[in-house]
Amino acid sequence: MLLAATAAAPSLARADETTDVLRDVAKARSKLRTLVARFTQVRALSLFATTVTSQGELSLVRPDRLRWELFEPDAITYWVGPEGLAYRSKAGAGKVSPGEAGPLGAVLADLLTVLGGDLARLRDRYDVSAARVDGGARVTATPKDDKLKKLVSRLTLELAPGLVVPRKFELFERGDDRSTIAFEAARLDEPIDPKRMRP
C-alpha cells in the first residue's frame, strides 16, 4: 500500500503543476487583445523522406478569430472564426460551417485555443500536461477523441517567459508526419484591420 502511494505521488505532483501552469497562462492571456507573429513552418513528410519549409504570419484577435497565412510560393490563407473555417489559395477559395468542418476544422479551432485561448478548454477532448521550462512553459495535448486520433497523435506548445508569446508549436500527425512552427517578432495588442480577420 505504501508502494502504491509512493508511485502515485509523482503523478499527483504533475497534475498539480499542470493545473497551476494552465491557470497562470489563462491569467497572463486574459489581458491580451491581439497577437501578430511571423513564423517558419517545417513540415516533415515521412512518405517522401523530405521536408517542406514555409514562411508565414499568424494574426489572432481574442477571443475567437485566427488568420493563418502562408506566403509565396504556398500563398494560402486560413481563417477560423465563430462562423467556421475558410480558406483562399491560388486554386480557389471556400468556407465550411462549424458543423461541417469535421476533425480538421476542429484541429484548426483548437489551434486558436492553443495560441491565444484558455488551454484548460482543451481538456474536454485532450489529455493535457504542462510544465515550467526555461522561464516559460511547455504544454502537451494528446487527443482523447477517436476522430481526432486519426489525424493527430499530439500537439505541443512552448511559451516564452510571460506565458503569452508562443515560441514553438508542433503538430504530430499519424504516420510520423510532423509540422514544427517557430515564431518570431511577436507583436502584442497592436490594432488589426477587422477586414483582415474575415475571408
Its CATH class, for the domain covering 13-190, is mainly beta
If you average pLDDT over every residue of the chain, what do you get? 87
Q: For residue 63, say if its preceding peptide bond is cis, omega within 30 degrees of 0.
A: yes
What confidence category does residue 103 fall into, taking pLDDT thresholds of 50, 70 and 90?
A: low
Residue 13 in this model has a pLDDT that exceeds 70: no
Which three three-digit cell numbers place residue 52? 517542406
Residue 85 has pLDDT above 70, yes or no: yes
| pLDDT, average across residues 72-92 | 91
pLDDT band at 137 (very low <50, low <70, confident <90, very high): very high
Which pTM was predicted?
0.84
**CB-count exposure of residue 6 (10 Å: 0-12, 13-18, 19+):** exposed
Grade residue 83 by pLDDT with cuts at 50, 70 and 90: confident
Q: Would you kindly state where each structural domain of the chain is located, as residue ranges?
A: 13-190
Name which of 17-21, 69-73, 114-118, 172-176 the model is least confident about.
Answer: 172-176
Please identify which residue in the block is written with the cell numbers 487583445: 33
Task: Give the pLDDT score at 96.
Answer: 80
Residue 98 has a pLDDT of 65
First CA to last CA across the chain, in angstroms? 59
